[in-house]
Amino acid sequence: MRSLVPFTRTGFTPMETLRNDFDVLFRRFFGEPLMEGDGHGYTTWSPRVDMEEAEKEIFVKADLPGVDAKDFNITVENGCLILRGEKKVETEEKKKNYHRLERFFGEFYREIPLPVYADTEKISAAFSKGVVTITIPKKPEVLPKKIAVKTFE
């Protein structure tokens, strides 16, 4: 049967090329698929984050379960907040009979673009119970200013 989508010179149809491009995009965003590589969940992954904007600051909360504070760092580069680190592999006891290993281990990376009004010089972070909370103040010049209204009677 003849395909409705012709082959390209590389042998891939345009749909296959599009699918491959999406696979690359999802791998960059979410990390490699589970159980690839050595078969034990050791892979690159991205922590899940929540972002909240308040009047004077932006809050970023990232889930880093099982990661020690010494095993990750937070930097600001080219207008982006970057979380980078590693979740160490736990020592495996040979006596146990594992049926399934799904937890992620390995290096992680997450890049979050910051708005131009973020004051990157005053960023702070706190880590508790596997969650890092990053507080990014807004520059004072972008905060709303209250204007007094004069009345004439």
* 51, 58 contact by CB (below 8 A): yes
CA separation (Å) from 91 to 8, 94, 134?
Answer: 49, 9, 30
Sequence-ordered list of residues with C-beta below 8 angstroms from that of 121, at least 6 positions apart, any chain = none
Residue matched to tokens 């200013």: 145
pLDDT averages per 10-residue partition of the chain, 153 residues:
45 71 70 47 73 93 91 92 85 63 77 91 94 94 81 85
List, in order of start, the domains of the chain with CATH numbers: 14-90+101-142 (2.60.40.790)
* 58, 118 contact by CB (below 8 A): yes
* 125, 134 contact by CB (below 8 A): yes
Residue 132 and residue 41: Cα distance in Å, rounded? 23
User: What is the value of pTM for the model shown?
Assistant: 0.63
11-53 residue pLDDT tens: 556 777 777 777 777 766 665 554 444 444 445 678 889 999 9
